[in-house]
Every structure is written in structure tokens, then in C-alpha cells.
Amino acid sequence: MAVTKFLILLALTVGCTLAIKLPQNPEPNPEPLKWWQQEIIYQVYPRSHQDSDGDGVGDLAGIQSRLDHFTDLGVGAVWISPIYKSPMKDFGYDISNFTDIEPQFGTLESFKNLSSALKERNIKLIMDFVPNHSSNEHPWFNMSINREEIYDDFYVWKDPSGVNSSTGEPLPPNNWISVFGGSAWTYVEAREQFYLHQFTPEQPDLNYENPEVTKAILAAIKFWLDLGVDGFRVDAVPHLFDKPRPLWTQPVDPNRPPTALPSDWAYYQHLYTYNLPGVFEVLAKFRELLDIYTWADGIERVMFVEAGVPTLDLLFEYYGTKEKPIAHFPFNFEFINRVKSGFNGTNIADVVDEWFTKMPEGMWANWLVGNHDNNRVASRFSPDTGIVDAFNALVLLLPGNAVTYYGEEIGMKNANISWEDTVDPPGCSAGPDRYQQFSRDPERTPMHWNDDKNAGFSTANKTWLPMHPDYPEVNVEAQINTTGASHIKVYKQLSALRATDVWRYGSMESQAPDGGALFGFSRIYNGKGFICLFNFVDEVKTINIPQEFEDIPQNATVYSTSVGFEPETAIGSSVRTDNLVIGARHSIILEF
């Protein structure tokens, strides 16, 4: 597969930073990229994208009315967070019918309309699929409580470990804690047993030791494939298997964060509920089903998995092997997990270089910097939003998939959400003193389209989450119409560069010059190319590029700069590469 099938050559450069060089795809016939490798994947959070019916919640007709935005950005695939029927306890990640649409979002008809409108524009549709759990309002759960045939064992049921001597209440089977805090077990009087839920109590875990569960879930996947979807983002896959027999106690994690309480997930190691071998067997079955569709017409149906495992070695197991592939890719959370406030070029180089060095041969990278579970990139490090352009350039121009979370193209920030307005379950379960540490509401506020009421998102008097108050300045229309620079203009420049042979087939060399203050990577194909340079520190820096990177000519053209770039440098102007000045926390892209 393109670049990554070649040998990775490691070279030592200035200082102690490891640099990396990936060769270009060979002439005369570079291996063409598959659709899913080259298209930008844009994550839509449906509640927050566009409301069409004035109820303050986004919906499918709303998404359909905003397709021009995708085309304008050069987005080739949209991943929509769950739109299935749901009581919305975890805002769609609690599904009560895997083969129907949530009425708040629309109907199967509106889904089909959206799907064909996307097809007309040649934009692929990726569903978010949540196989680990259902809603407690799914009919399967009720039938399981009643021990109806087949469904008796659909969920993970266990007897109490005893009774509380003072209250007489049944005690949970063991010490397992839910990801969102508190016991992972809830008692059901009617069955006189506890069921396991690794997320909220309203999200009972399906029992994949029961082959009937796999069958039922495969049938749901088939339902959407038959409706023409192009693939799935598969949720929380390391949680799929649990080993509750003989009800082992999870040990306390010696490396737990100092602020973690015994009721927090982070307090323990999750040896019996996380990343067990059975996970891969189930996922391989999902993949086999997708491949049947792929083989039938030659268009890949894809599977991207969300696996928050602690090391790259563990993560890369989710690719599977060439003989037995599993995911097309596991999401790369390295920019989120490993790049912290005060970072510099070395930290970025470490992430980039380690990924390419360790990624198994023949596999394809992916880059992202945000999603609906993480602080927005514009708020994560500093109020300085030049960082938005830098990360969009990394995500869009490194070799691999690019995943953009809605609003990143305009530099949307986290909103300050009060305790009263907090709706996210981990925030609510943490209580008024600690909710800000856990709540994901701040990064989920509605999209900013323009400076009308509610940023053009909804005509409602109250939107499901409050709007970020900066929308009159930070919005799509304002950033497109300004005569000056803007994040969305930069994004569109980056996206255009991604659609070139240099991006598709070019070599890649990364370096962290100036003792790691800077980071840069070049992409070159048959002598033509571009170089992205980032100054992540608080000082102005000057760089002699040809001294640091191979095959860079003496003169180059400025292709794009971060918003407010200093010193003032016109796009399209010619610059000498041996003496380039980059202002503090700015980035620039040169073409040659």
C-alpha cells in the first residue's frame, strides 16, 4: 500500500532527535490509493450539526442541507456518530434498535435521502456502530431479564456476591468499575441478578461468549450494508469481551493518576474486561462480512475501530495481518494522548516517527486531533489558535487518513458549560465539584455556520447544549467572507494539496530541527514537493531548510501560512529556503 509498503529508513539527525524517511512510491506505476486512504473523513456529531425542525437538536435533514460545506472543504467521507433509535442516555451510544433511526434525527426514509444525496456528490457514508452494548430499552434486554429462549444469555448476568448486612441489599459480584465511574454492575430484582455495564447502567454489555449475539449483530451490520453504507467506525472494541468467571477482582493500578478515586475507572487495571483475545475473533467476523460486499463490486467497505489501548504494539494488533486483516485502521489517538501543554517539535516527531517505525508493513496510517470525547484542539494547549492551522496541516498532509472533527476547520473552542447545563453521563456522575474533569459537553456544542441566532444551527430558543458565545466571530460564513486570513481558508488550501500526486505518492522526511523547537516534514514526488514547518515554541526561529532536509531547492513559493503569520509573508511570494523566519507558534508551507 503506497508509501508504507517500503522499507522505513531511520536516520539520525542533529541533536538526539530521531528523524524518519519514507521513500516515494516507485515510478512508472505508483500503486493507486484506495478511496478510504485518500479521502478526508469528517466526523459529524448529529445532535450538533444542523437542526432542520427547530427542536434544538441536529437531525438528518439538517445534515443533508449542509452538504455544500463538505464539498467546499474537499471532504470525501463523513462518519456520523450514532443515529439509531436511542433513549439518548449516552446521546446515541445507547441503542434500542440497531436497524432503525432515532425519531429525533428522522426516519429510515430521511436516512435513505441523505445517503443518496451523499452518493450523488461522491461522498462516502460511514456509520458509527456500537456492538459492545445496547440500551436497557432494547427489547433484547427485557427478554433477557425474563430469561426468554436465546435471549437468556444475551447479556452478562451474575449472582450477587452476598448481601449488605445493614441494608440487606444485594452486593455486586465483584469490584469492577464502569468507564463512567461507579460499579459496573446493576441489580435487577425480577431476575435476582446483576448485569454488567462497562458504561452507564442504561448500556448493558452484550455477551459475546454467546454466538447468538454475534449473529444478531452481524445481521444489523448487513442491514446497513444492504442500504449502501460504505463502512463503520466501530465503538469501544476492547470492551467486547469480559471474563467474569470466576469473578476475579481487578487490581488497583499502581500508576493511577493521583486524583483518581476508588470509584473511578482509572483507579484500576482492567485485566478481565479489556482487550481480551476474543475481541479479535468477533472483529474478524465483522471484517469477513464487509469483505463479501467489497469483493462483490470492488468498492471497499471499511472498518475503523476505536481502541484506546495503552501502547502502539497493542493498538497495531487491530490491523490484523495481511492474511487475516481486521480493521482498515485503528484510530490514532497519539496527538491527543501524548502531546501535552508546553510541547515542542520533538514531541511531535516522537509521535510521527514511532507510528511509522512500528506500523506493520502494508498497513496505512491515520491522523486526528479531536473527537466528541476530547477537549477541542483550539482549547487544549493555549488560547492561541495558530495551533489549529498547525494541527490541521499535520492531520491532512502526513501520509495516511485524515479525520476532522466538525468545527476544527474553523477553530471552534470548548464551551464553558455550567453544572446546571451539564448532560453528559460521566460529567453528571462525577457531581458538581468534579464534573468539569469528566464532562464531554464542552467539545460537543453546536456547529457555527454564521452569525444569525444560534449560529444558524437552529431556530429554537434553547439548543440541546448552549452555543459557544464566540460564534459571531468564529463561524463558517465569516471565515469564508473575510478578506483576510482564516482557519477555513487554510483548511481548504491543505485539502487541495492532499489531492495531488505529491501527497499521494511522495516521499516523507520528518525532522525536529533547532534542538527540537521546530518540527517539519517534506513530501517530494519526482522532484516536485512541499515542506510543512512548525515553530511550536515561544520564540521567533530562523531555519536553514536545505541544511536540515534532503533535496530542498534554494528558492520556494509560500503556499500557505498559519493565520496571523509573523513576519508578514504573502502567499505566492518567493522565499529563500536557507534563511526562513518563523514567528512564535506559527507554521508555514512552502512549495517547490
Active site members = 235, 306
| Closest CB to ligand NOJ among residues 130, 225 | 130
| Closest CB to Mg ion among residues 381, 464 | 464
Burial of 539 (C-beta count, 10 Å sphere; 0-12/13-18/19+): exposed
Q: Report the partner that residue 21 touches, choosing among Mg ion, ligand NOJ, none (CB closer than 5 to 8 A by kind).
A: none
Q: Report the partner that residue 111 touches, choosing among ligand NOJ, Mg ion, none (CB closer than 5 to 8 A by kind).
A: none
Number of residues assigned to the chain: 592
State the minimum distance, in angstroms, from the CB of residue 577 to Mg ion.
Answer: 51
What are 483-488's contacts with CB under 8 Å, separation 24+?
A: 485/561, 485/563, 485/564, 485/565, 486/410, 486/563, 487/385, 487/388, 487/389, 487/392, 487/409, 487/410, 487/411, 487/563, 488/73, 488/409, 488/410
State the minimum distance, in angstroms, from the CB of residue 305 to ligand NOJ.
Answer: 11
Give the type of residue at 402.
A
Q: Report the partner that residue 55 touches, choosing among Mg ion, ligand NOJ, none (CB closer than 5 to 8 A by kind).
A: Mg ion
| Closest CB to ligand NOJ among residues 45, 471 | 45
State the minimum distance, in angstroms, from the CB of residue 444 to ligand NOJ.
Answer: 9
Cα separation of 378 and 259, whole Å? 25
State the minimum distance, in angstroms, from the CB of residue 73 to Mg ion.
Answer: 23
Q: Report the partner that residue 372 touches, choosing among Mg ion, ligand NOJ, none (CB closer than 5 to 8 A by kind).
A: ligand NOJ
**Partners of 531 in beta bridges:** 522, 590
Q: Report the partner that residue 57 touches, choosing among Mg ion, ligand NOJ, none (CB closer than 5 to 8 A by kind).
A: Mg ion
DSSP-derived 3-state class of residue 233: strand
548 touching Mg ion, by CB under 5 A: no
Q: Report the partner that residue 221 touches, choosing among Mg ion, ligand NOJ, none (CB closer than 5 to 8 A by kind).
A: none
Give the type of residue at 586.
H
Give the type of residue at 420.
E
| Closest CB to Mg ion among residues 104, 332 | 104
Which grid cell sits at 252?
488497583
Given a contact cutoff of 8 angstroms between Cβ atoms, the answer to whether 40 and 76 are in contact is yes
Residue nearest to ligand NOJ (CB): 93
DSSP classification of residue 204? P
Question: Going by C-beta distance under 8 Å and a sequence separation of 6 or more, which residues neighbour residue 195?
Answer: 155, 156, 157, 158, 185, 186, 188, 204, 205
Beta-carbon count within 10 A of 179 CB: 21
State the minimum distance, in angstroms, from the CB of residue 408 to Mg ion.
Answer: 23
| Closest CB to ligand NOJ among residues 372, 413 | 372
Binding mask 22-51 for Mg ion (x = CB under 5 A): -----------------------------x
* DSSP assignments along 139-192, one per residue: HHHHHHHTT-TTTTTSB-EE--SEE-TTT-PEEPSS--B-TTSSBSEEEEGGGT
| Closest CB to ligand NOJ among residues 93, 364 | 93
Q: Report the partner that residue 59 touches, choosing among ligand NOJ, Mg ion, none (CB closer than 5 to 8 A by kind).
A: Mg ion
Given a contact cutoff of 8 angstroms between Cβ atoms, the answer to whether 37 and 461 are in contact is no
| Residues 247, 253, 259, 265, CA torsion sign | negative
55 touching Mg ion, by CB under 5 A: yes
State the minimum distance, in angstroms, from the CB of residue 152 to Mg ion.
Answer: 38
441 touching Mg ion, by CB under 5 A: no
- Helix/strand/coil percent split, the chain, to 5: 30, 20, 50
Kindly state the number of chain residues that form the binding site for Mg ion, as judged by CB under 5 A: 5
| Closest CB to ligand NOJ among residues 205, 350 | 205
Q: Report the partner that residue 373 touches, choosing among Mg ion, ligand NOJ, none (CB closer than 5 to 8 A by kind).
A: ligand NOJ
The kind and range of the H/E element at 507 are strand 507-511
**Partners of 158 in beta bridges:** 194
Burial of 68 (C-beta count, 10 Å sphere; 0-12/13-18/19+): exposed
State the minimum distance, in angstroms, from the CB of residue 483 to ligand NOJ.
Answer: 39
The kind and range of the H/E element at 387 are helix 386-397
Q: Report the partner that residue 443 touches, choosing among Mg ion, ligand NOJ, none (CB closer than 5 to 8 A by kind).
A: none
State the minimum distance, in angstroms, from the CB of residue 403 to ligand NOJ.
Answer: 13
C-alpha dist (Å) from residue 393 to 24, 369, 457, 487: 20, 11, 27, 11
* DSSP assignments along 405-473, one per residue: ETTGGGT-------TTT---HHHHHH-TTTHHHH--GGG-PPP--SSSGGGGS---SS-SSPPPTTTTT
Given a contact cutoff of 8 angstroms between Cβ atoms, the answer to whether 40 and 75 are in contact is yes
Cα separation of 571 and 269, whole Å? 51
- Of 2, 57, 397, 403, the one binding Mg ion (CB under 5 A) is 57
- Of 59, 102, 230, 443, the one binding Mg ion (CB under 5 A) is 59
| Residues engaged in binding ligand NOJ (CB under 6 A) | 90, 93, 130, 199, 235-236, 306, 372-373
| Closest CB to Mg ion among residues 83, 396 | 83
State the minimum distance, in angstroms, from the CB of residue 47 to Mg ion.
Answer: 9
- Of 53, 212, 578, 591, the one binding Mg ion (CB under 5 A) is 53
Q: Report the partner that residue 130 touches, choosing among Mg ion, ligand NOJ, none (CB closer than 5 to 8 A by kind).
A: ligand NOJ
State the minimum distance, in angstroms, from the CB of residue 119 to ligand NOJ.
Answer: 26
Question: Going by C-beta distance under 8 Å and a sequence separation of 6 or more, which residues neighbour residue 371?
Answer: 43, 403, 405
Given a contact cutoff of 8 angstroms between Cβ atoms, the answer to whether 181 and 430 are in contact is yes
Q: Could you list the residues that contact Mg ion (CB under 5 A)?
A: 51, 53, 55, 57, 59
